[in-house]
Amino acid sequence: MTSSLNTDDLTVIPQLDLTVPLVAALLVCLAVMIAAIVLAVVLSRPRRKPRVSAARGVHAAATGKSVWRNRINAIVEDHDNNVIDREEAFLRLAAVARDYASAVSGRDMSAQTLSDLHRGDRDARHRDGLNLLRQTIEALYPAEFADPQFNSAARQTDVRQAAEWVSTLVERWR
C-alpha cells in the first residue's frame, strides 16, 4: 500500500513574525532584573540606628550635670544601704554612663558593647567623650561581669570607685 501525497493541494503558510513578542519579553526580563538588583542593593545596606534626640532646657547634659551626679549618688546610696547589691550597682552605673553619652552625643549608646565602642565611628565633635566612655565601660566590665574570686580587677574595684569613673565621664565630656 503505497499512498501518495497530492502536492497540488498544499499551501505555504507564511513565516510567523515573532520579533515584537520576543522584544517585549526581553524588555520585561530586563525590567525585572534591574528591579531585583536595585532591591538587593537597598536591602543589603546596613540599617541606620535611630538617633536619640538630645535633651533640651534644664535637663540638657551640658547644663544639667547635677541630674547625672544625682543619679550616680543615688546608686552609691542604694548600695551603701543594701538596697542593691554590688553587681546591680555596677550595672546601673554602666547604664548611667551610656545614657549620658547618648544624651550628649545624640546617638543611642544604651546597647553598645565594648566591641561596638572600639570599632564605632569617631565623630570629631565627640571623639574625646567617646574615648572616655569606652575607657569607663572598659573599666566597669571586670567589676560588672567577672567573678571577683578569679579576677583581681573585679575584686579590687568597689562601687564608690566605679561611681567616680562615671562622674569623671560626666564632668570631662565636652
**Residue 52 pLDDT exceeds 50:** no
Q: Note whether 37 and 92 are within 8 A (CB).
A: no
Domain count for the chain: 1
Query: Is the residue at 38 inside a domain?
Result: no
Q: Single out the residue of 126, 76, 128, 86 nearest to residue 103, CA to CA.
A: 126
End-to-end, the C-alpha distance of the chain in Å comes to: 107
CA distance 157 to 159: 7
Residue 3 in any domain: the answer is no
Does 32 map to a domain?
A: no
Segments forming the whole domain that contains residue 166: 59-172
C-alpha cell at 132: 572616655
Find all residues with CB under 8 Å of 126, minimum gap 6, and list them: 104, 105, 173
Alpha carbon distance 106, 97 (integer Å): 14
Torsion of the alpha carbons at 29, 32, 38 and 39, rounded to the nearest 10: -140
pTM of the model: 0.57
Check residue 62 and give its pLDDT: 45
Residue 167 has pLDDT above 80, yes or no: yes
Q: Is residue 42 part of a domain?
A: no
Assigned domain for 41 exists: no
10 or 69, higher pLDDT: 69
What's the pLDDT band for 53 if we cut at 50, 70, 90? Answer: very low
Is residue 34 domain-resident? no
Question: Residue 98 — pLDDT band, cuts 50, 70, 90?
Answer: confident
pLDDT given for residue 154 in this prediction: 56
With respect to residue 69, please indicate whether it lies within any of the assigned structural domains. yes
Q: Find the angle CA(91)-CA(100)-CA(147) to the nearest 5 degrees.
A: 20
Considering the domain boundaries, does residue 76 fall inside one? yes
pLDDT exceeds cutoff 70 at 157: yes
- Structure letter (DSSP) for residue 3: -
Residue 136: its pLDDT value, please? 79
Residue whose C-alpha cell reads 547618648 in the numeric block: 102
Partners of residue 51 on adjacent β-strands: 107
